[in-house]
Amino acid sequence: MDEILSLDHITFTYSPDEPNVKNAVEDVSFTVHEGEWIAIVGHNGSGKSTIARLMNGLLFPQQGTIKVMNEPLTEENLWEIRSQMGMVFQNPDNQFVGATVQDDVAFALENNGIPYKEMVKRVHEALQQVKMDQLLNHEPQHLSGGQKQRVAIAGALALKPRLLILDEATSMLDPQGRAEVLATVQALREETGLTVLSITHDLEEAILADRMLFMNGGEKFAEGTPSEIFALGDQLLDLGLDLPFAMKLTKLLKQDGVELQGEHMTEEELVNDLWTSNFKK
């Protein structure tokens, strides 16, 4: 598997002149491989959004190197690297640049000087991928939050990026919009094998990832598959992170003496275990 992105002992502080202020990111290393879905979780102020900004050169670390496609990120190759990373931000309104859906998707293409014919093709393809091709000429004020975020994803996809970064992309959406966006990302991964890095505090979203990175106070606290991370149980609760609903329920059921096999991260698993639990006796 190819390496898409690697952070090597990254340290970053917003106020380098004041030694007493704690670093926003402290000695963080991790690698993202092609085709993976990585989730970075942590409560507010854990440094997870700073990491996103470091990855595409909105900020530069004081120590350590960031490599994208095995190339160190520098001021010189910044724009080229940005064109290979799509990023979707938190607020659906504040990242919609174009007057209509198709104009917005085309924005990054225009910036990169893609010829007109190719642009039209890519805009339509990208909108099809997020199932927004029916709303080509809609203006942003007539779209729901979930639809706007899907347009933002299409805008990123149009450049055919190697990596899609979702920086709390679902946190301002209603449950329906959140489900829409997550379903879109899942479908994209199935179809194209896109590498996704999502920064989130929504644990239901993090469960979908292949690997989780748990940040606390600017440091990497734990890394592993979602089941490994959630197995930490009470430690997570102490650090201000909740457990997914199904896991909490499993825990409580076990306390009440219901016999269940192992931990369950999704409701479906739990339900399956529950309705078969009597057969196993």
Partner 1 sequence: MMEKMIFGRFMPGDSFVHKLDPRSKLLFVFAFIFIVFFANNPVTYAGLLVFALLVIFVSRIKLYFLINGLKPVIILMVFTFLLHIFFTKEGNPIFEWKFIHVYEEGLRQGIFISIRFLVLVFMTSILTLTTSPISITDGLEVLLNPFKKLKLPVHELALMMSISLRFIPTLMDETDKIMKAQMARGSDISTGPIKERVKAVVPLLVPLFVSAFKRAEDLATAMEVRGYRGGEGRTRYRQLKWDGKDTLAMILLVAMTALLITLRS
- Kindly list the residues in this chain that would bind partner 1 in the complex (CB under 8 A): 56, 58, 79, 82-83, 85, 87, 89, 91, 93-99, 102-103, 106-116, 119-120, 123, 139-141, 155-156, 159
Decide whether 47 or 155 has the Cβ nearer to partner 1: 155
Decide whether 12 or 96 has the Cβ nearer to partner 1: 96
C-alpha 127/C-alpha 264 separation (Å) is: 35
β-strands 3-12, 63-68 pairing: antiparallel
Decide whether 110 or 259 has the Cβ nearer to partner 1: 110
The residue whose two tokens read 């085709």 is 35
Residue 225 phi, psi (nearest 5) = -70, 160
Decide whether 157 or 265 has the Cβ nearer to partner 1: 157
C-alpha 237/C-alpha 107 separation (Å) is: 42
Minimum distance from residue 141 beta carbon to partner 1 (Å) = 4
Minimum distance from residue 28 beta carbon to partner 1 (Å) = 21
Decide whether 83 or 277 has the Cβ nearer to partner 1: 83
Minimum distance from residue 129 beta carbon to partner 1 (Å) = 17
Which CA distances in Å does 237 have to 145, 179, 209? 30, 25, 20
Dihedral of CA atoms 87, 125, 195, 60 in degrees, nearest 10, equals -30
Residue 179: CB atoms within 10 A of its CB come to 14
Minimum distance from residue 177 beta carbon to partner 1 (Å) = 17
Minimum distance from residue 108 beta carbon to partner 1 (Å) = 4
